[in-house]
Structure 1
Amino acid sequence: MEQYITVKKGRTFLVYDTPGELGTIIAVHGLTGNHKQFYHYQKAFTGKYRFISYDVRGRGNSDQTSKDTSIYTHADDLIELIEELGIKRPILMGYSMGAYISAIVASRLSDVEALILLDGAGEADDMTRQLVLPSLNRLKKVFPSVQEYVHEVKGLYTNLRVNWNETIEEIVKYDMKKIDSGWRHKSESSFIRQDFETFYTFKQEETCSKIKATTLLFIATGKIGDKAPLFQGAGYTKTRESIQKIETKYTDVNHYELVFNKQPAIVQQIEEFLVKQGVK
């Protein structure tokens, strides 16, 4: 069910909530994503787990972000959203930027049931910047039609080994809004860039050492194009050493395939992990 939820501070979020009986998963999407980024995971877990995905502020149909936007303000938002929804013992699942946000929240809330990090909350380096920043240029452009934007993103995603289909096209179209001169992305590129730069302020040892929840970390080793993985494996060393209870899985898919393509093996690994935690 799609709904708008307004938290105590007056901020409104687009939330997509599907039912299940074995606990509540709250999924936090990536830097330029939206709640639809979790389509495959939400479909896989619905009926077993209550699955909540939402648009982070400044994305999709949630409120615009504030001038001090960062992974930390987004973490504040998530805590307020959890409180507003009355969720006890949430299972936090974060992808990319969402993994940083989820880790911060897990370090602040004592009742997090489990934490699932999908290739994020590691140490971003110069290669991360080289791979991410050029991709943000599309957010600045005005397109004559939605289809023109879809065409550009299709070329980008296909090169990243994303299996293009109607579902991916719907995710991409959702990001667009009509303006006087054409169509443009709903997100402001300067704020997206600002959020990205706060990846580099994430103190792994300080934050991760406060996480009590048992954690499942997926590291995507696939290259972005012909370059390198978005996050280097060594960049997760402090994360892995600082979280008290952590299980690490490696996958040879790349960062984008991790969410945009179906990943039945990863879904199975998450289910097995949650069963081991006795999530009910």
Structure 2
Amino acid sequence: MNSTRIGDLLVHVWPAEAADAPVVVAAHGITANGLSWAQVARGLDRRVTLVAPDLRGRAGSRDAPGPYGIGRHADDLIALLDRLDTDRAVLTGHSMGAFVAAVAASRHPERVDGVVLVDGGVAFPAPAGTDLDAVLAAVLGPAMARLSMTFPDREAYRQFWQAHPAFAGAWSPAVEAYVEHDLIGDGPFRSSCVAEAVRTDGGEVIVDDETLTAVHTLRVPAVLLYAERGLMNEPQALYDPQRLAGLEIPAVLVPDTNHYSIVIGAEGAATVADHILRAAAVPL
């Protein structure tokens, strides 16, 4: 893996063994960063080139200028293809990143071979007058709370995440590198996430018409992979067959995963990798 600045963004690239292999561009979750895809990259086993940017307002792209928003991130994915001189790619995204991938594919189907949505991309519109900050705090829990916290050292930050119910069974060196990539400062440390970016992006996932409808307007092959459990490893997941009734694209349950372990856990990431390879027409 190598990390390089492409335009405004820091981009992590896991190159394929073959120079002419398909390209996959991956968008991370709302308070995450591109290194969240490391375990998926391992499952891809260099059969495709995986390109995973830190989105605007996060980690190595924290200083990238606004405006933020799902559409801006979607445009950034397509701009990456241009800068990489790549005509077409598979797009994938986790959580908020799934909405980014869906919007990019909806806007630019001629650039997309397929879409793999991972525990995100299908929305449940909020009632008018909803307090967006309250919703984000309630849904994201510790992930949102940490944005206003400081940590005396890196070990304290690692312990914070190791105590998260959804991370407890999925810790690995790759996960450690991913969470540490979020840190800024030289003691005390804090999250790199720009609060305005998180609030803008989160608000669009809740109320923006294009973001809410993108999955229903896709004109390329797509699949939703959804976790069995929720963001805090609770039994109620984001999605279930009842909530997904009427969805136009296939929805596949990934057993024994939660919202995070579906990409950072070995078994969940392997399933995601398999579906990405299918979307890229690479033999398994």
**Which TM-score band (shorter chain)?**
0.7 to 0.9
Equivalent pair of 1:32/1:192 in contact (CA under 8 Å): yes
| Equivalent of 1:201 in 199, 203, 207 | 207
| Equivalent of 2:192 in 169, 182, 186 | 186
Structure 1 regions of 5+ residues with no counterpart? none
| Shift in CA distance, 84/270, structure 1 to aligned 2, threshold 3 Å | closer
Partner of 1:248: 251
After TM superposition, the structure 1 stretch with the greater mean CA deviation from structure 2, 95-104 or 187-196, is: 187-196
Equivalent pair of 2:9/2:54 in contact (CA under 8 Å): no
Equivalent pair of 1:30/1:95 in contact (CA under 8 Å): yes
Partner of 2:13: 16
| Shift in CA distance, 28/6, structure 1 to aligned 2, threshold 3 Å | same
Equivalent pair of 1:168/1:260 in contact (CA under 8 Å): yes
Within-5 A mapping of 1:89-238: 89-109=88-108, 110-124=110-124, 129=136, 130-156=138-164, 158-179=165-186, 182-203=188-209, 206-223=213-230, 224-226=232-234, 228-231=236-239, 233-237=241-245
Equivalent pair of 2:228/2:253 in contact (CA under 8 Å): yes
Kindly state the Cα deviation for residue 124 of structure 1 after the two structures are TM-superposed. Answer: 4.1
Equivalent pair of 2:43/2:273 in contact (CA under 8 Å): yes
State the identity as a percent.
22
1:41 aligns with 2:40: yes
Q: Tell me the amino acid that sits aligned with residue 258 of structure 1.
A: I
After TM superposition, the structure 1 stretch with the greater mean CA deviation from structure 2, 135-144 or 260-269, is: 260-269
Kindly state the Cα deviation for residue 153 of structure 1 after the two structures are TM-superposed. Answer: 1.3
| Shift in CA distance, 190/233, structure 1 to aligned 2, threshold 3 Å | farther
| Shift in CA distance, 233/124, structure 1 to aligned 2, threshold 3 Å | farther
Once superposed, what is the RMSD of the aligned Cα atoms? 2.7
Q: Tell me the amino acid that sits aligned with residue 96 of structure 2.
A: M
After TM superposition, the structure 1 stretch with the greater mean CA deviation from structure 2, 202-211 or 72-81, is: 202-211
Kindly state the Cα deviation for residue 164 of structure 1 after the two structures are TM-superposed. Answer: 1.7
Partner of 1:262: 266
After superposition, what is the alpha-carbon deviation per residue over 1:53-75, rounded to whole angstroms, capped at 9, x for unaligned? Answer: 12111112125254531111111
TM-score, with structure 1 as normaliser: 0.84
TM-score, with structure 2 as normaliser: 0.83
Of the two structures, which has the highest relative contact order with CA contacts closer than 8 Å and spacing of 6 or more? 2
After superposition, what is the alpha-carbon deviation per residue over 1:64-91, rounded to whole angstroms, capped at 9, x for unaligned? Answer: 2545311111112112111111111100
Q: Tell me the amino acid that sits aligned with residue 163 of structure 2.
A: G
Q: Tell me the amino acid that sits aligned with residue 111 of structure 2.
A: D
Equivalent pair of 2:106/2:217 in contact (CA under 8 Å): yes
SS at match of 2:156: helix
SS at match of 1:120: coil
| Shift in CA distance, 160/112, structure 1 to aligned 2, threshold 3 Å | same
Partner of 2:130: none
CA distance in 1, matches of 2:278, 2:4: 32
